[in-house]
């Protein structure tokens, strides 16, 4: 059954329902209050549109096609329903703030049902993502997979330590909020899922892989001990924590901190930290950089690892010399990329680390935010010069198991997880 395009439902204005649970089943896109502007991307699992309301506000509309399950019954996938539920849960938690911080979770504006019982998520629109700004800066080839050489020089604005501190403080605050207040493990933190708006705001997107921690919120004394046994991860392998690569099924919020540590390293290098297509290649790369797991009986890092005849020492300090990051920054990176998840720093602890806290850091945050906004503005102009790229980074759609760290960049269909 092919799904019709949205354009046949355009035309009439209607109010956008604030309460997703009160939307009647018969409601279609005709009653959502949005008129289609353009189709951004379409694939086997869904389509992404730009929609405009009566006041001219533009939103991203993530339309999820129904899929057949093992019994042959067609319906909306569990991941899509989970994403809508978790985003609604986060939005309700965020209402108490009374303001919109520069760093946060992608805002869910509403949920409507499309024809054939398809689901549409109406989300705030972000134009770019951090991978485009930090790694490729407009050099991506649209419509075909291509190899991307490393940038010849590092961007001077992104190389400023105050800007990196500003971005990492914001990213870690998002994770602290998810882990401690919403009790959610995102499980797919990466540059491509950190979206950037025109004003420089950063939003974490793609909650199709996210899970609630298994303890009831009121009974959770410590986020660190909140273990969960969800399904296996379908995410980009270069951001996977070593415990996941080794087959651990009972993992914690520490997997998000590891991924944020990889993001931290990518901000410093302005290139991918790891490259690999398989779990074995990734483990080899991790141990070459960080050393092989400890033999300490108290450590859980090597419980499922094989015994190696040759022990490798960490080369992290060689990869990140003083010319790239200070000793305090390197210490934070080490703590975020700790092989043992039980010893890995939490998001809240990372925010209190000397590299990200203290009067000296606070003094330069306003300047860093201005520099970041100027950089985003320049990237927006660069993107506008590529008509076929405009709006392609509004947000990610669905689980993306592609490997961004391989020698060949995934094609644009995979960017949306369609």
Locate all alpha helices (DSSP H) within 42-122, ordered by sequence.
Answer: 78-94
Categorise residue 93: left if φ over 0, alpha if ψ from -120 to 50, beta otherwise: alpha
Asked whether the beta carbons of 127 and 393 are under 8 A apart, the reply is yes
C-alpha span between 143 and 122 (Å, rounded): 25
Residues 6+ apart with CB under 8 A from 289: 273, 274, 314, 315, 316, 319
- 137, two tokens: 């800066």
Residues 6+ apart with CB under 8 A from 139: 148
Which of 188, 340, 399, 412 does the annotation list as catalytic? 188
In Å, what is the CA distance from 347 to each residue of 216, 238, 275? 20, 20, 25
C-alpha span between 33 and 395 (Å, rounded): 21
C-alpha span between 410 and 407 (Å, rounded): 9
For 293, half-sphere exposure in the C-beta direction (CA atoms, 13 angstrom radius) is 23
C-alpha span between 147 and 140 (Å, rounded): 9
DSSP string, 185-226: E-S---GGGEEE-TTS-EEE---TT-EE-SS-GGG-S-GGG-
Residue 153 CA from chain centroid, whole number: 26
Catalytic (active site) residue 206: no
Length of the chain counted residue by residue: 418
Beta bridge partners of 228: 251
Backbone CA torsion sign across 296, 301, 302, 308: negative
* DSSP conformation class of 248: -
C-alpha span between 283 and 54 (Å, rounded): 52
The catalytic residue positions are 188
């Amino acid at each position: 059954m092919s799904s019709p395009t949205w354009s046949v439902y355009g035309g009439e204005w209607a109010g956008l329902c604030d309460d997703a649970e009160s939307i009647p089943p018969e409601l279609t896109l005709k009653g959502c209050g949005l008129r289609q502007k353009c189709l951004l991307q379409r694939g086997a699992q869904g389509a992404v549109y730009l929609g405009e309301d009566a006041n001219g506000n533009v939103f991203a509309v993530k339309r999820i096609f129904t899929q057949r399950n093992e019994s042959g019954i067609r319906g909306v996938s569990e991941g899509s329903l989970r994403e809508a539920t978790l985003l609604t849960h986060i939005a309700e938690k965020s209402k108490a703030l009374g303001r919109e911080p520069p760093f946060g979770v992608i805002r869910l504006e509403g949920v409507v049902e499309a024809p054939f019982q398809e689901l549409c998520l109406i989300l705030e629109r972000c134009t770019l993502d951090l991978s485009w700004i930090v790694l490729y800066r407009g050099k991506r080839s649209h419509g075909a997979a291509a190899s991307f050489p490393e940038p010849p020089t590092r961007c001077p604005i992104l190389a400023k330590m105050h800007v990196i501190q500003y971005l990492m403080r914001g990213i870690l605050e998002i994770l602290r909020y998810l882990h401690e207040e919403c009790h959610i493990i995102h499980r797919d933190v990466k540059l491509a899922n950190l979206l950037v708006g025109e004003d420089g705001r950063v939003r974490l997107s793609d909650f199709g892989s996210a899970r609630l921690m298994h303890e009831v919120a009121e009974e959770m004394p410590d986020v660190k001990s909140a273990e969960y046994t969800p399904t296996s991860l379908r995410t980009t392998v270069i951001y996977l924590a070593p415990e996941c690569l080794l087959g651990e099924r009972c993992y914690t919020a520490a997997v998000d901190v590891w991924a944020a540590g990889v993001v931290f390293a990518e901000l410093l290098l302005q290139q991918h930290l790891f490259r690999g297509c398989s779990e074995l290649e990734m483990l080899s790369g991790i141990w070459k950089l960080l050393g092989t797991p400890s033999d300490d009986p108290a450590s859980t890092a090597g419980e499922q690892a094989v015994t190696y005849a040759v022990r490798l020492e960490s080369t992290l300090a060689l990869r990140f010399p003083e010319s790239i990051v200070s000793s305090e920054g390197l210490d934070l990176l080490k703590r975020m990329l700790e092989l043992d998840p039980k010893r890995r720093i939490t998001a809240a602890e990372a925010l209190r680390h000397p590299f990200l806290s203290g009067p000296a850091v606070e003094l330069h945050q306003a300047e860093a935010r201005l520099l970041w906004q100027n950089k985003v503005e320049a990237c927006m102009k660069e993107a506008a010069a590529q008509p076929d790229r405009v709006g392609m980074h509004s947000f990610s759609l669905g689980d993306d198991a592609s490997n961004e760290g391989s020698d060949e960049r995934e094609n644009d269909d995979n960017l949306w997880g369609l």
